[in-house]
Amino acid sequence: MPRKISVAGVNVDLNPDAKEAAGATAIGEKLKTEDWDIVAASEDFNFHGEIWDAAWNGGVNGGGFSSFNSTTHRGNISVTLEALARFARQQSPVFDIDGLCLFYRWNRVTPSNESWTSWNAHNGYTEDGADGLIDKGFRYYLVTLATGEEVDVYILHMDAETSDADNAARDVQLKQLADAIIATHNGRPVVVLGDTNCRYTRDYIKDHFIDRIEADGRFTVRDAYIQRVLNGLYPVVGANAIMDQGSIAANRQAHGYDYGEVVDKVFYINTTESGKRLSLVSYKMDYSFKNDAGEPLADHWPIVVKLDIHDYDPAIDDEDEPDAGLSGEYYIRNVSSGYFLKQGGRYDTHAVTGTYGSLMKLVHVSNGKYLIQSPIGNLMQNDPWMDGSGQNLWYVSQAIGKTKSYFIYYDEGSTRRVLASNSLRSYPYGPNYASVTLSNFNASSNLQKWELLTKEQLMAEMREKASEATPYECTFLLSGANFDVKDDGKNAWSGWPVNATKMTYNDCGGAIDIANGNPCAEVYCQSYGGWTDYGTTWEVGQTLTGLPDGKYRVTMQGFYRDGDINQNNPGAVHAWLYARSGGVEEKTLLHDMYDAKCTSISSTVKTKDKDEYYIPNGMEDATYFFNAGYYENEVTVTVTGGTLNVAVGKPVKTKTTSGWTCFDNFRLFYLGDPSYDGVGSIAEAKEQSGRSERKILENGRIVIVKDGVRYNTAGQQVR
């Protein structure tokens, strides 16, 4: 098209980068070198003749088997008296042309039955894309292939620009074209191609074109870009536009096409009224479409799609839409909070997010819908729960931004319900949790966006990001870290003293109710009158393998009580937290139960010590203290050989009755390889004594002294 025109003194930029006659000739010459059967032109105006002359190459008479012919050209943009009169009346179109044309390789295809339809709506006159200057619409052709098969072909050019009015005009046009296709009973497959000026993240292409046609029941609609580039995943309207973002080179190398979405589309549509079916062979953007100077020949790269036509085969053509490539096991991380999807809420079965996640499995069922399996059942669409047995299916659609992420949703009538995390905050079912809800779709909310990360990806991220200053939480490598009732991973903890005289244990005890979840574990020395040696030692732990070598920090919440609640024997602690690797053992004493110094915790907790501080008297009480952040312990170890043993135990014999160890909430952090600069000994603590805030190691536990006040690592004041 021309670069610009002037109508009644009004200058209109049509295509400032256009190369006009010389560029059109170069396009025609280039067409002869490409193995294409049909080419849809959307802005074929003043230089149609140059394209045709170069592409024709002698045609039938010259025997040019590489040559192209063209369908009707409706004329140039020419400022005539009639055009000026129409412009003065603000009457569209000013130029009675559509800019559409089908170029076709004459010895391979034969188009016939040409018809043209104007759009029912447009926006803009000399602005907003100047859509009112020409008569945009769509054309239809019956295309007969050299092999005798017949295909219906539609070419189009839709409204330009992105204002609300432009978007609304395109919405009308999508529905108009869909209704035209639905109205046919031609018994032929359909191909639709051209400049839609649409993006899936901006326009309701799926809802008002694809779904509208497929609702008829005869038709199956596919977009070549969606099928081949996005693996069948439709982006959601309102999400970030899918542009070239750094990974483009890798995508081109791996796939041979550009990952970014463009407005030029190719749809192929099959119908049950035909004995033939179309299938996608290839999709690519042709970056070689340049002149001798290396400049692009057009302002859009050609979209090149190869389709196969074959006899209908029920065994192949009646299969569900293929898996979008997401079937597999993932940790699902919220983009906004950075927390991972897991079970552990109400009754230990409600979905929550935490600092580490449950390994989830996506199973493709049909038509891009997935069953999402948690370790305790299926993710359900009511509330949501994670222990369901029903087959609730979820869409998983890309929401491309700086972070590759997905919306996980289902449609409830006309409402789109999306899995979402609440903002980062403490949650009643344990520390470091946030709730998960179902929300109405909001494309701009990162709380509704989720990353799908394999264990290998998390391990790679862990190696890349961890440092002394920014430890990387890798609790996902520990099994049963929270001793959740429904988590079979707790079976990885071994060494429970099940055969020990006078010793009992519970690895998921405590009452589990709506207000107080987060079950914990205990080892308890029972009191029997007259029996004086309660000296059985014990150790409960698990061994991890395949870890990157380097510094690790193990934290957990736990305490030891020497004697029963009535003995009130503070100060005697005999249980330890251990971390071992490469023959080196690091350890720290657990907290004394009386360390909490708690003046307020919960109306459920009734017991106080002699100083009138609340203390836990049983596992349910202990969970309230753990949830509030009390009794935190930590130890740091250097892993060599990729193996780490984590344990809690009582290594010495005692003669006190009713010794009780209660523990929960193990967490694992990777600090990378640099030397650890924290407090590792009393000597180091003394060196920091002159600082306004310092750490000291006291009876095997870390205490933070700030302005003369002592705190535990959870931030609670201690004495």
Write out pLDDT tens, residues 75-112.
887 777 777 777 777 777 778 788 899 999 888 999 99
Element (DSSP H or E) covering residue 394: strand 394-398
- Looking at residue 475, its amino acid is T
Stated pTM of the model: 0.61
Average pLDDT over residues 560-580: 85
- Work out the pLDDT band at 44, boundaries 50, 70, 90: confident
What's the confidence (pLDDT) of residue 668? Answer: 97
Q: Is the pLDDT of residue 207 over 80?
A: yes
**Do residues 409 and 441 make contact, with C-beta atoms less than 8 angstroms apart?**
yes
Q: How far is CA 412 from CA 47, 213, 406, in A?
A: 51, 20, 19
Q: Which of 356-360, 363-367, 395-399, 642-646 holds the top average pLDDT?
A: 642-646
Tokens of 650: 């009582």
Alpha-carbon 138 to chain mean position: 36
What's the confidence (pLDDT) of residue 595? Answer: 92
**Best CA proximity match to 173, nearest among 159, 193, 190:** 159
Q: How far is CA 141 from CA 64, 110, 163, 192, in A?
A: 24, 9, 32, 10
Task: Give SS3 for 524.
Answer: strand
Cross-strand partners of 6: 11
What is the DSSP code (8-state) at residue 385? B
Residue 146 CB: number of other CB atoms within 10 A? 11
Average pLDDT over residues 13-31: 72
What's the confidence (pLDDT) of residue 506? Answer: 57
Q: Is the pLDDT of residue 649 over 80?
A: yes
Tokens of 718: 């201690």
**Do residues 582 and 640 make contact, with C-beta atoms less than 8 angstroms apart?**
yes
Q: Is the pLDDT of residue 718 over 70?
A: no
Average pLDDT over residues 189-194: 97
Write out pLDDT tens, residues 317-334.
776 555 667 889 999 999
Q: Is the pLDDT of residue 654 over 80?
A: no
Query: The tokens 């493709």 sit on which residue?
Result: 364
What's the confidence (pLDDT) of residue 438? Answer: 92
Write out pLDDT tens, residues 262-299.
899 999 999 999 999 999 988 888 888 888 788 888 87
What's the confidence (pLDDT) of residue 704? Answer: 66
What's the confidence (pLDDT) of residue 181? Answer: 98
- Work out the pLDDT band at 256, boundaries 50, 70, 90: very low
CA dihedral 289, 293, 298, 301 (to 10 degrees): 40
Task: Give SS3 for 65.
Answer: coil
Average pLDDT over residues 639-652: 94
Phi–psi pair at 348, nearest 5 degrees: 70, 20
Determine the Cα–Cα distance for residues 194 and 102; give it in Å rounded to an integer: 10
Q: Is the pLDDT of residue 618 over 70?
A: yes
Average pLDDT over residues 341-368: 86
Cross-strand partners of 438: 419
What's the confidence (pLDDT) of residue 413? Answer: 78
Q: Which of 45-49, 85-89, 289-293, 639-643 holds the top average pLDDT?
A: 639-643
Q: Which of 506-515, 543-552, 668-677 holds the top average pLDDT?
A: 543-552
What's the confidence (pLDDT) of residue 250? Answer: 43
Write out pLDDT tens, residues 403-455.
788 899 988 877 889 999 986 555 555 556 788 989 998 877 899 999 999 99
For the chain, the C-alpha Rg in angstroms (whole number) is: 35
Determine the Cα–Cα distance for residues 635 and 644; give it in Å rounded to an integer: 13
Least confident range of 26-40, 139-153, 183-197, 318-332: 318-332
- Asked if residue 302 has a cis previous peptide bond (ω within 30° of 0), the answer is no
* Interhelix angle 20-33/48-56, nearest 10 degrees: 30
Determine the Cα–Cα distance for residues 579 and 635; give it in Å rounded to an integer: 7
Query: The tokens 């973002």 sit on which residue?
Result: 245
What's the confidence (pLDDT) of residue 311? Answer: 92
Share of the chain above pLDDT 70, in %: 78
Average pLDDT, the chain: 81
What domains appear along the chain, each with residue ranges and CATH number? Answer: 4-317 (3.60.10.10), 328-453 (2.80.10.50), 475-677 (2.60.120.260), 680-719 (no CATH)
Alpha-carbon 501 to chain mean position: 52
- Work out the pLDDT band at 244, boundaries 50, 70, 90: low
Element (DSSP H or E) covering residue 176: helix 164-182
What's the confidence (pLDDT) of residue 24? Answer: 84
**Best CA proximity match to 484, nearest among 368, 376, 369:** 376
Alpha-carbon 189 to chain mean position: 34
Q: Which residues touch 128 (CB under 8 Å, ≥6 apart)?
A: 160, 161, 163, 165, 166
Q: Which residues touch 718 (CB under 8 Å, ≥6 apart)?
A: 595, 597, 703, 710, 711, 712
Task: Give SS3 for 355.
Answer: coil
Write out pLDDT tens, residues 481-539.
988 777 777 788 988 876 554 445 555 444 333 344 567 888 887 654 444 445 578 89
What's the confidence (pLDDT) of residue 712? Answer: 62
Share of the chain above pLDDT 90, in %: 40
Determine the Cα–Cα distance for residues 546 and 65; give it in Å rounded to an integer: 62
Between 348 and 199, where is the model more confident? 199
Q: Is the pLDDT of residue 592 over 80?
A: yes
Q: Which of 25-39, 133-147, 333-347, 642-656 holds the top average pLDDT?
A: 133-147
Determine the Cα–Cα distance for residues 35 and 275; give it in Å rounded to an integer: 27
Cα torsion 512, 515, 518, 519: sign: negative
Cross-strand partners of 636: 553
